[in-house]
Every structure is written in C-alpha cells, then in structure tokens.
Amino acid sequence: MGRFLNRERFGHPQFIAGLMLLAFLGQCLWLVNRAARRGEPMGAEVFRLQRGLRLWHGDPLSESADLSSGQPGTSAMGSYDPNHSPLWYLAASAPLLLWSPPLQVGNFSSWVWLARIPSLAFAVLLGASLWYVSRRLYGNAGGYVALALFCFSPAMIRSGSLWFTPPEMGAAWGAFGTIFTAIAVAHTLYAPREVVLWNWRRIVLLGLSLALAIGSQFSLVIVVPVALILMLYLAPTRRGAALAIWAAANSLGLFLIFASCAFRLGALYQTLAHADFSGVTWKALAMPGAYLRPIQELAQSSSPALWVALAAALATYAVSPRARYFGNTAPLLMGVLFLLLGAGSPHYPGLGFPLIALPFLFVFIGGATADLIETRHRNVILACLWGVLSANALWNLAELAGVGGK
C-alpha cells in the first residue's frame, strides 16, 4: 500500500485532478437531481433498463430494439439490436440488480439514481484516463488544461448524467482507451523482454476497451484497424509482436461480448449477423452540408471558450513545427476521424461520434497549450489560458444554474 500511495503515484497533481473530477461529478449529480425532480424519463431509457434486467435474469433476447427513433419497437432486424450488443444493456441495468422497483414513469424518482450510476462511473473514469494520458504526454500543464476542459464541458456533463441523451460514455471511454492503450503497448515493444507475456496487463486493458467500445456501439469497430495501424507505425521493427498483442486483445474483446450473450453461440452469431458495423452513409459524405452538422452539434453543446482554445491550438499546430509531433498529431487525427464519421452518420448512433471526438480534442488542446507555455511568451500564454478556462467554467456553471431554475 505504501508503494502505491507514494508521491509519484499520488501527489499534489493527482490531488488537484481528483478535486477537478469531484467538481465534474458534482455537476453531473446536479443534473441527475433535476431529472429526478422532473420525473420525466425517456421511454427508451425504461425499455433499455427492462431489457437489461431480463438479460441479467437469463431471459433470451426476446424483445426488438429500434433505438434509432429513441423508442422500442418492432423492426426488420427482429430481436437483435443493430447498434448495440447485450453488453450495452447489461452495463446500463447492472445497479438495478441491487434494488429493482417497478420501472415505470410514475416512480421514476425512485430508480433514477441507480440507473445513472454506470454512465456517471464511465464519465469519471474517462476523465481520469484523459488526465493520465495528457499528463504522461505533456506534463502537468497539459494534463490540467485537458482535464479542465473535460470537467466543465456541457456535452460531457450532459452525457454523463444522461440528461435527455442515450448512454454514450461507455463507448467514448472504450474508444479513448483503445487508442491510447494501443499507443502505450507499441511504446513498450522495444523493451528487452518477452513482450507478449510481459504486456498481459495492457492486453487485458486493450481487450476490455475494445469490448466496451464495440459492445456499446457496433460502428466503433473502426477502432480495431486504427489500433493496429498505430501499433505497426510505432513499432516497425516489432510488428510480429504488435500483431500478436493486437490479436490477443481482439480475442479477449470478442470473448467478453460472447459472455454478454450468456455464452450462447447462437446468440453471439445472431448479434453479430444483425449488427450494423459501418454506420456510415456514403451518400451523406458527398453532401457539403453533412460536414457542418457535427460541428454544429459540438457548438450547441459547448462553450464559446472551447472554440477559442481549439482555434488557438490549431493555429499553434499549423505555425509551429515544434508542435507537430506524434503526441499532438495522434489525438488531432482521431478527433478529426470521429467528426468525419459523424458527418457520414446522420442518424443514431452516429450522433454520438462528435461526443467521442471531444476527449481527443481536449488532449490535443492540452498538448498544444503545453508547447506554448514553454515559449518565451509563457506569462502572456498563462494569463490568456486562465482567462479561457475560467470563462469556460463560468459559462458552464451559468448554464447549469439556468437548468436549476426551470
């Protein structure tokens, strides 16, 4: 225990990050409280939880799910959800196993807190992962900037508290974890050890991330080839080991999805056979207006200060050769990729791609800002940074206060 609680693992920076995450959680709980007072759950939420509880109790996939319209119904897909695996339903309903009152609109306030626990947990874990990655890449300054943007992001708070949104935090955390775990694994392949066995912890983490991402949203299967490309690029002389680790992690991810199907081969086959893995409407990519939609979605759920920070980070990346290195380029490319997928997916679940892009953009902003702080204009940059982050936090808190007054 003493080794774990040393200053390197838990010191002043981690304490500050913990306080910031507590502030984020407090804002999410505020919205959950407002939802409980309103007592107006979405029909899709009740359906999702009921289906999850039936799966927990061993019932087969006997209900259809047409969640593209936000409501349960009958579709040509039959009893299998084309967008989500059973893992999505199991995760959403797990806390209700402790105490499960009748899931009805009339008693919403009696079960809403339990129902929101998984999304809140995924949101906090995503924030902690973002802090860890940003700090490892850019130092304390970059970590603080990325985490501050996350903790006062209206989109993240709304999604974490399920404020009139579907549960996307599991998919976002899974996608984020997949990409940066793949990068971390690739960087360890040059160590003079038996890399496949030595990396078993990262293999497990990568497998869990893949299962969570794809199990929560089938169209996130795109992270599978992207993870392999990153690993092969970063370890060109150890591609055999990279491929072995990637294959092992994918096998674990598939096994976990199989487990969510109650270890029934028939259920797994039908789940994958009815899954919509593409999610992209190629005709949409041919329409110029489609590329504005993800940006508009982000603009509607973000503060103006975020766009100032993003514009400054992009300008820094474009002008300064020092900022154009892999640590900055990778999160920027991933953010752009998910925004493009959002442009090509005009319907549910493609609406979640802009949200998944945000953590990568936060990391990119943190990296570009850390580069600026190291220049001779440090004092000016710090003053501007404090202004932008303070404005972002105040804008978000004012929005929350407005929700409280409705």
User: Which of 22-31, 79-88, 266-275 ranks highest by mean pLDDT?
Assistant: 22-31
Q: Is residue 4 part of a domain?
A: no
Q: Is residue 53 part of a domain?
A: yes
pLDDT at 77: 37
Q: Is residue 41 part of a domain?
A: yes
pLDDT tens-place string over residues 68-120? 334 443 333 357 888 999 999 999 999 988 876 666 656 677 788 888 999 99
Q: Report which of residues 295 and 13 the model is more confident about.
A: 13
Peptide bond into 225 cis (omega under 30): no
- Give the global pTM: 0.90
Q: How many domains does the chain have?
A: 1
pLDDT at 149 over 90: yes
pLDDT at 18: 94
Instruction: Please enumerate in sequence order all residues whose Cβ is within 8 A of that of 290, keeping only pairs 6 or more positions apart, or say none.
Output: 284, 343, 344, 346
Instruction: Please enumerate in sequence order all residues whose Cβ is within 8 A of that of 381, keeping only pairs 6 or more positions apart, or say none.
Output: 369, 372, 373, 375
Tell me how far apart the alpha carbons of residues 361 and 170 are, in angstroms, rounded to a whole number: 18
Domain with 224 in it = 12-404
3-state SS, residue 302: coil
Q: Is residue 213 part of a domain?
A: yes
Q: Report which of residues 305 and 67 the model is more confident about.
A: 305
* Whole-number Cα distances in Å, 280 to 156, 241, 276, 333: 24, 32, 9, 18
Q: Report which of residues 63 and 148 the model is more confident about.
A: 148
- In this prediction, residues 233-246 reach a mean pLDDT of 91
User: Which of 60-69, 130-139, 233-242 ranks highest by mean pLDDT?
Assistant: 130-139
Of all residues in the chain, the percent with pLDDT exceeding 90 is: 52
User: Which contiguous run of DSSP H or E holds residue 404?
Assistant: helix 378-404
The answer to whether the CB of 125 falls within 8 A of the CB of 350 is no
Average pLDDT of the residues of the chain? 85
Q: Is residue 144 part of a domain?
A: yes
